[in-house]
Amino acid sequence: MVGCAYNESLGRNQFLIVDDSALIQQSNAAWAETLKSQKVSTNAAQNERVRRVGGRIVQAAGLAGRHWDYAVFDDASPNAFVLPSGQIGVTTGLLKLVQNDDQLAAVLGHEVGHVVARHAAERYSTQSTTGLVLGAVQSRAGDYSQAVGAVGGLGAQLGVLLPFSRNHELEADRLGVDYLAAAGFRPSESIALWQVMAQQRQSGTPEFASTHPSDQTRIAALQQYIASRGWN
């Protein structure tokens, strides 16, 4: 089941135990369920905007060879997602929050970055393997198995899974900036976007216990990366 693959876009090896066909099948099912369970906006201008901006990002990421579906969901929460099977969903809340197409491109570039980086497959592989290891440890712990499971699970989550997820987010940020720059959008607007998001966010979760980097960490990393590429 174990596999190690080199991802050229990331410049590193990845631990993968799930193939793309299984992931695409699950993604297609998730998209079909989302279309059924969520209200899809019929606003022609909003849908065209997402298709136009999303299409440029997809092209820049080298993924234009596959079919892509786009949808705007009538939801006040600012959110967007891109599925490995080729679907892009954006909420009306996000369209209201972003101040221009460059910022929308920053969001979609980030989400497409997750797809190119195969983060979904990598995260699944890491979580599955961690669960198997903890199960083996518990089987040797006798009466203490419940305590080992609780402490071990927390340790694995804080020491492996959550930091790994934060690393995924920062990788997707960098790839997203690459794509929006290649698509003709302004990289600096990705920084402006996260500054806007920081103003909206009210979470008090410390970074060490969060699956996402803090807004300050993310903004600082983007500023450094954009400067290193000589972009503005």
Buried-exposed string 12-32: b where 16+ CB fall within 10 A, e elsewhere? eebebebeeeebeebbbeebe
Q: Which helix (H) or strand (E) holds 33?
A: helix 20-37
Q: Give residue 127's identity as a one-letter amino acid code.
A: Q
Among residues 8, 48, 111, 207, which one is catalytic? 111
Element (H, E) at 50: helix 44-60
Quick one: angle between helices 162-182 and 215-228, nearest 10? 40
| C-alpha–C-alpha distance, residues 180 and 56, integer Å | 8
Contact between residue 197 and residue 79 where contact means Cβ atoms under 8 Å apart: no
Residue located via tokens 């979760």: 205
Is residue 189 annotated as a catalytic residue, yes or no?
A: no
Return the active site residues. Answer: 111
